[in-house]
Structure 1
């Protein structure tokens, strides 16, 4: 498979105002890099600025946890989960690749299929739960037919995902600026006591307290919420200039992704305790209408639109995951048509599951979050250890598209570390249908993901001590020279050379994993 596509015409360039994105899983040429670093913050803020996030706040109170303890557990979990998620963002500008293509360096050209199942489950699982939230919520609030709603939101999110990267960024920015003022008004109303709940909700609030099990369930749910974004992140930063600084993009993504749930999860917990609600959209409508007449309905619609846009995000990354899997078995030429067909197929799958097969929202939410966390934690540990400590950002990008390349078809170190993490997490797992023996001994406290991070990350680091990373130097250098041809082509948007230096290497503390690559000075700082 070619690692770059032909240079698109102006009408098909992903940055065009009305164009469908032409790229899929291939490397993004340097001449086509665009976007501003600051846009990553609002993008990931809006990604969590929706009813699913609000519903995470319901978990603790449902288990008897007080509002204060729910907020504390959520804050701690969010910081931990977002820490791991945000560091994946740096890989996008440096490598210009979708996240799971880069994972071939750790798991092999074909071995990456083992982890693709986990990531695809995440993308489809989120959209199934999102469909259940929207179907039930709009039926409850407005009396709309749930099946018709499910089909409608699937079509909208599929179309948004088909138009692709730039349209997702645009939609998220517009919805951010429309939603934020309304949420500010609602928050002010809550803080000033303008929102009150029914009398029957008072006993629940009075009886709430603290248990370690409930605290850890809330902590784990919020940690998993942003860790499960890890396979997405570089999909939406891969068009940024390669000169984008690691610290800057990590910070932008971190504060964006952590900001909105730190805002909405406490509101969700407050709604559960004070209003006694179990439906996030109904809670938004009831609380908003108490502050300003009609605000609840407006916020409900904006919240649904934000969630539908996030479903487009899941569909887009899900398609890249499927195409990566297909290419790993049978090399293909990537492009627009294959991405459109894959997105459409995924839309049918989650629409049927969310509208026909699964209806229990609370069970679906709890199990989906935990399963996503269990499956992704070993992957994120291996991927980050490889990128920041083993290869330190130096990869032969062209070899990621070759089954006979330097990374091999099956990379045993990554695969062993991933499977070992899953196996050793099992005794710590807590699900509605299974509780591991260690978790039982701990009274139902779930610390499985902490064990997975330590085991998979630590084992991979140990196993790669015998890996001769310096021997990859000639392949990395040859890959950079090959990519340089695309880096200096004429941009379809501006007609001028991009001016980017293709030999740029990230700074990871002064150490160079590949000794053959010279340091490059005097690079532009890129968009800030």
Structure 2
């Protein structure tokens, strides 16, 4: 019964389950429980940062708000992918064996999954490191490298603990975390609003190609966040199989999109009331300068709590990805390894860049990976009508349903490679501008191009393979019946 709420996993003990199948008797919860699970990580200081960057790109406020709304639409894909968790009863990194094949999946998860996890761990720890260092600097601890590094190590250690205790802790604590963070960030918003220039006009208003370039770049930055959450099945997999997919999609998409949209909008408003000199010092410094003495430390605590909630979830799911590629390691040691990798990358970024530069550059580059992998996953869910056999997914022997051709599923692998390659031609950032993007006045269409191209290639090749070998893709053939 989907309305019954029970937590078979004891909260006082770490979760030992990894990618193993969850039996019907162990399923529990409701789709709406996913809303706070996704809301807590997305009440984030990175939203302020990204929102401010839209204004710095030269947009007017109304243009920035349009981009923010459009950039939230990919959350629907995150929700669609989440529905596969209860259907299969296992993690997303195992479900994608249906897309890439047994051996192909190991390659994709090892490279793409780990890269995305490491980038987001680092970006969020980087935010808390700069903010924590700013606060400690007011107390006399001013070392520009040592202090952020120490903050990173402490926050990373707590994050790994959340991942170790796992699903039950996340599901029980995140509603409280989301409420606390919402209260803190709304307080911060109240002190930002008096500084907003409601009649703000860009110093040099953009028109034509430069305007479209700024808006598409902003869209890419915003869309990269929901596109990266192909781990959404991991948080939904304990739900009863009978849970309505539409409810899972709504709870996941709205939980992530609503707080992200609101506080990214606040970030755009914030940028109108801060002069260029203040922004040069970093948005974290500019934010704290606007707050009363009593609220600054509270806000930093909120940033750190948010970072732990987001990275705890990321570390939790990444630890299962490690298992799914065949590494003989238990989930808890795997979580420690993931945390160590993310910490190392964060420390490197602390010593080499600013928060704003790191966020914008890495989020834009990330879409070349996250766009195709999310698109092919969502397309597969739709093609199969969300019918996945968990037991078939764990059959790794030659000749098994997802062995395909020697363990490789060419349609899935080729779709993401082609999607990424074509999208790179439409990408615009400080490191790389694709030739087609340059010819169109630096228009960044990498997200829609990656999604449409990947989905189109996957559908075409999958249908072609099914015609040539009717038994090659049994799940899709069965879904048609």
- Give the corresponding residue for 1:368: 362
**For 1:370 and 1:189, how far apart are their aligned partners in 2?**
30
- Give the corresponding residue for 2:54: 60
3-state DSSP of counterpart to 2:339: helix
CA 1:251–1:204 in structure 2 vs 1: closer, same or farther (change >3 Å)? closer
- Give the corresponding residue for 2:252: 253
The alignment of Structure 1 onto Structure 2 pairs a total of residues equal to 449
- Give the corresponding residue for 2:318: 318
- Tell me, which stretches of 5 or more residues in structure 2 are unaligned? 1-6, 142-146
**For 1:91 and 1:203, how far apart are their aligned partners in 2?**
46
- Give the corresponding residue for 1:233: 232
Question: In the TM superposition, what whole-angstrom CA distance separates every residue of 1:191-229 from its partner, at most 9, and x where no partner exists?
Answer: 5x3x469xxxx9996516332211111111111121111
**For 2:412 and 2:315, how far apart are their aligned partners in 1?**
27
- Give the corresponding residue for 2:108: 115
- Give the corresponding residue for 1:497: none
Question: In the TM superposition, what whole-angstrom CA distance separates every residue of 1:73-98 from its partner, at most 9, and x where no partner exists?
Answer: 1111112x212111111111111111
CA 1:367–1:119 in structure 2 vs 1: closer, same or farther (change >3 Å)? farther
- Give the corresponding residue for 2:455: 457
3-state DSSP of counterpart to 1:465: helix
3-state DSSP of counterpart to 1:430: coil
**For 1:366 and 1:99, how far apart are their aligned partners in 2?**
27
Given that residues 161 and 315 in structure 1 are in contact (C-alpha distance below 8 angstroms), is that contact kept between their aligned partners in structure 2?
A: yes
Given that residues 61 and 208 in structure 1 are in contact (C-alpha distance below 8 angstroms), is that contact kept between their aligned partners in structure 2?
A: no
Structure 1 residue 186, shift from structure 2 partner: 3.7
**For 1:421 and 1:33, how far apart are their aligned partners in 2?**
36
- Give the corresponding residue for 1:353: 345
Question: In the TM superposition, what whole-angstrom CA distance separates every residue of 1:437-481 from its partner, at most 9, and x where no partner exists?
Answer: 1011011111122111111101111112241698589x87xxxxx
3-state DSSP of counterpart to 1:314: helix
TM-score, length of structure 2 as denominator length: 0.87
1:173-188 aligned within 5 A: 173-188=175-190
Which of 280, 283, 288 is the equivalent residue of 1:285? 288
Higher alpha-carbon deviation: 243-252 or 310-319? 310-319
Structure 1 residue 154, shift from structure 2 partner: 0.7
CA 1:151–1:326 in structure 2 vs 1: closer, same or farther (change >3 Å)? same
Question: In the TM superposition, what whole-angstrom CA distance separates every residue of 1:91-149 from its partner, at most 9, and x where no partner exists?
Answer: 11111111121010010001013321112111110111122211112212332521210
- Give the corresponding residue for 1:243: 242
Question: In the TM superposition, what whole-angstrom CA distance separates every residue of 1:466-504 from its partner, at most 9, and x where no partner exists?
Answer: 41698589x87xxxxxxxxxxxxxxxxxxxxxxxxxxxx
- Give the corresponding residue for 1:513: 479
Question: In the TM superposition, what whole-angstrom CA distance separates every residue of 1:379-421 from its partner, at most 9, and x where no partner exists?
Answer: 22222222212x2222332221223211111111111112111
- Give the corresponding residue for 1:214: 214
Which of 75, 79, 97 is the equivalent residue of 1:86? 79
**For 2:302 and 2:461, how far apart are their aligned partners in 1?**
48
- Give the corresponding residue for 1:146: 148
1:264-283 aligned within 5 A: 264-276=263-275, 278=279, 279-283=282-286
Question: In the TM superposition, what whole-angstrom CA distance separates every residue of 1:236-288 from its partner, at most 9, and x where no partner exists?
Answer: 00011111001111011111111001110011111122124544544443444
1:151-166 aligned within 5 A: 151-166=153-168
Which of 401, 406, 428 is the equivalent residue of 2:401? 406
**For 2:451 and 2:412, how far apart are their aligned partners in 1?**
13
CA 1:204–1:394 in structure 2 vs 1: closer, same or farther (change >3 Å)? closer
Given that residues 320 and 339 in structure 1 are in contact (C-alpha distance below 8 angstroms), is that contact kept between their aligned partners in structure 2?
A: yes
**For 2:421 and 2:472, how far apart are their aligned partners in 1?**
31
- Give the corresponding residue for 1:170: 172
**For 1:209 and 1:265, how far apart are their aligned partners in 2?**
21
Which of 89, 95, 105 is the equivalent residue of 2:88? 95
Which of 332, 335, 338 is the equivalent residue of 1:340? 332
3-state DSSP of counterpart to 1:349: helix
**For 1:196 and 1:107, how far apart are their aligned partners in 2?**
49
Given that residues 213 and 443 in structure 2 are in contact (C-alpha distance below 8 angstroms), is that contact kept between their aligned partners in structure 1?
A: yes
**For 2:62 and 2:480, how far apart are their aligned partners in 1?**
49
Structure 1 residue 155, shift from structure 2 partner: 0.3
Given that residues 424 and 434 in structure 2 are in contact (C-alpha distance below 8 angstroms), is that contact kept between their aligned partners in structure 1?
A: yes
CA 1:355–1:14 in structure 2 vs 1: closer, same or farther (change >3 Å)? farther
- Tell me, which stretches of 5 or more residues in structure 1 are unaligned? 1-12, 477-507, 516-528
Given that residues 196 and 270 in structure 2 are in contact (C-alpha distance below 8 angstroms), is that contact kept between their aligned partners in structure 1?
A: no
3-state DSSP of counterpart to 1:141: helix
3-state DSSP of counterpart to 1:97: coil
**For 2:156 and 2:390, how far apart are their aligned partners in 1?**
34
Question: In the TM superposition, what whole-angstrom CA distance separates every residue of 1:52-88 from its partner, at most 9, and x where no partner exists?
Answer: 2221112212222222211211111112x21211111
Given that residues 217 and 428 in structure 2 are in contact (C-alpha distance below 8 angstroms), is that contact kept between their aligned partners in structure 1?
A: no
1:411-490 aligned within 5 A: 411-466=409-464, 467=466, 471=471
Structure 1 residue 514, shift from structure 2 partner: 5.6
CA 1:302–1:362 in structure 2 vs 1: closer, same or farther (change >3 Å)? closer
**For 2:365 and 2:168, how far apart are their aligned partners in 1?**
30
